[in-house]
Amino acid sequence: MATRRVALAMVLALALCAVGIGASSRGPGCRKHVKRITDYGAVGDGKTLNTAAFARAVADLSRCAGDGGAALVVPAGRWLTGPFNLTSHFTLYLRHGAEILASQDLNDWPLIAPLPSYGRGRDEPGPRYSNFIGGSNLTDVIISGQNGTINGQGQVWWDKYRAKELTYTRGYLLELLYSRDIIISNVTFVDAPSWNLHHTYCNNVTISGVTILAPIHSANTDGIDPDSSSHVKIEDCYIVSGDDCIAVKSGWDEYGIRFNMPSQHIVVRRLTCISPTSAMIALGSEMSGGIQDIRVEDSIAINTESAVRIKSGVGRGGFVRDVFVRNLRLHTMKWVFWMTGNYGQHPDNSSDPKALPVVTGINYIDVLAENVTMAGRMEGIPNDPYTGICMSNITAHLAPKAKKLQWNCTDVQGVASGVWPKPCPQLGAVGKPCTFPEDELVIGPPELPKCTY
């Protein structure tokens, strides 16, 4: 009888989830159960490795998924850890002054499988290093707080990558796979080993009030990369990086074509970007599953190479279509418009030379740029032109050392109205104002949850 009772108690303890500190507000998206990382033995001295504490916390709190969900609170302090995964119906909450630091010891980074839509790691063939924060097949995940920081401490990775000392592809700072109903809000990401936020095969993602910072010469530190993902909203973000501030992708050559999952219904609003060697928003170069219905509004780029750039090439297949851009303010740009048809970079020698991307329906409205070196470098693909380009109400004020040739257009077709400097003949036809969809995409909750823990 007594042993039975003990056994029953143990079952209950396993089945019931943790009860810890309470939430200081309740409402949609606020979790019933709240624990601190210190409850799992973590030490925030910047030196103690807390990998086991994060793993224990997530395993413990995953049991709350069916009972109101759980929040893991990271208090002020410097919390060093190896990679860890998230769970469903879960909030990772970084209080003011909290900094989660990624271990710089490569032995703390296990290897994981490459993405099926890439067929191999992006830097190197074969498997890849784990992402710092990961998760697969999750529902209802929030990363938020009082602007705490997730720091990838990427310098060691950039150095080793550039010295060609890495056997495997670098991990991303945050990668969620096959997940839905995600909110990332009011947190800062710094010094990612490679890309910062990588949402892959995800649906219904809101990224709001996020700061992303990496040195402008760091290697491949893309800000936000929605990849084969649908219904993604990126609002009020500030990104300084060594690569594209945002890059929408959908798999690589024959692997992406086979996986066949597009990135679509993506909204970007009120982005501020600084990226002197890359784009404010790139579409591609990996776009083999297709990219469509992309809406960009009310955004600013400063000292950035180009604005909304299309990157593709022979072998990619797929498509980029129905892209709508309006109301950009740009300052110090090498090219306001840049389209690339020969991006190169193939996963292996099996890319299909007959896999030609279809690029069509690209609209740019109300763009004002200052200190521009060249207005448009527009290069489609021979025998596979980029078509349906529309530009209206565009003004590029030139830099003192601007190029004499302001537009260089090959294998592109479209219309322009109210564009200065006068565009190339391929865009010369007099057009109407370009279109921007009237309907509003429904992404994320009607209002961001307001929970403090």
Ligand X SMILES: *[C@@H]1O[C@H](CO)[C@@H](O)[C@H](O)[C@H]1NC(C)=O
437 vs 445, beta carbon nearer ligand X: 445
Check whether the bond before 347 is cis (ω within 30° of 0).
Answer: no
> Which window, 67-75, 131-139, 263-271, 419-427, contacts ligand X (CB under 6 A)?
131-139
Q: Tell me if the bond preceding 285 is cis, omega within 30° of 0.
A: yes
Q: 425 burial class (0-12, 13-18, 19+ CB within 10 angstroms)? A: exposed
Alpha-carbon distance of 42 to 236, in angstroms, equals 32
Contact region for ligand X (CB under 6 A) — 9-17, 19-27, 38-46, 401-409? 401-409
**Applying CB under 6 A, which part among 42-50, 132-140, 162-170, 278-286 lies near ligand X?**
132-140
User: Does the active-site annotation cover 159?
Assistant: no
Q: Which of 130, 218, 230, 241 binds ligand X (CB under 6 A)?
A: 130
CB of 19 to ligand X, least distance (A): 23
Q: Which helix (H) or strand (E) holds 297?
A: strand 291-304
Please identify which residue in 44, 254, 444, 453 interacts with ligand X, judged by CB under 6 A: 444
The values of phi and psi at residue 355, to 5°, are: -80, 90
Interaction mask 4-23, ligand X, x per CB under 6 A? --------------------
Choosing from 225, 243, 244, 366, which is the catalytic residue? 243
The amino acid at residue 239 is: I
CB closer to ligand X out of 360 and 417: 417
Closest among 142, 125, 124 to 133, alpha carbons compared: 142
* Shortest distance (Å) from residue 399 CB to ligand X: 4
Number of helices (H), then strands (E), belonging to the chain: the values are 4, 33
Which residue from 38, 167, 371, 435 is in contact with ligand X, where contact means CB under 6 A? 371
Q: Which is nearer to ligand X, 183 or 296 (CB)?
A: 183
Which has the closest alpha carbon to 328: 301, 360, 358?
301
Beta strand 188-190 with 263-269 is unpaired
Footprint (CB under 6 A) of ligand X, residues 404-443: 405, 408, 410
- Interface stretch with ligand X, choices 32-40, 239-247, 364-372, 421-429 (CB under 6 A): 364-372
Distance CA 283, CA 120 (A): 21
Binding mask 85-104 toward ligand X (x if CB under 6 A, else -) reads x-------------------
CB of 356 to ligand X, least distance (A): 17
DSSP 205: E
188 contacts ligand X (rule: CB under 6 A) = yes
Residue 136 sits in the site that holds ligand X (CB under 6 A): yes
Question: What are the residues facing 305 on neighbouring strands?
Answer: none
Q: Which of 103, 379, 396, 407 binds ligand X (CB under 6 A)?
A: 379
**DSSP sequence for 107-132:** GGS-EEPPPTTTSS-SSSSS-EEPPS
Whole-number minimum distance, CB 6 to ligand X, in Å? Answer: 31
Q: Which residues contact 340 (CB under 8 A, 6 or more apart)?
A: 285, 309, 310, 311, 312, 313, 379
Q: Say whether residue 83 binds ligand X (CB under 6 A).
A: yes
Residue with tokens 């990772």: 92
- Residues labelled as active-site residues: 243
Chain positions contacting ligand X, by CB under 6 A? 83-85, 110, 112, 130, 134, 136-137, 144, 147, 178, 181, 183, 185-186, 188, 204, 209, 211, 332, 348-349, 366, 368, 371, 373, 379, 393, 399, 401, 405, 408, 410, 444-445, 448-450
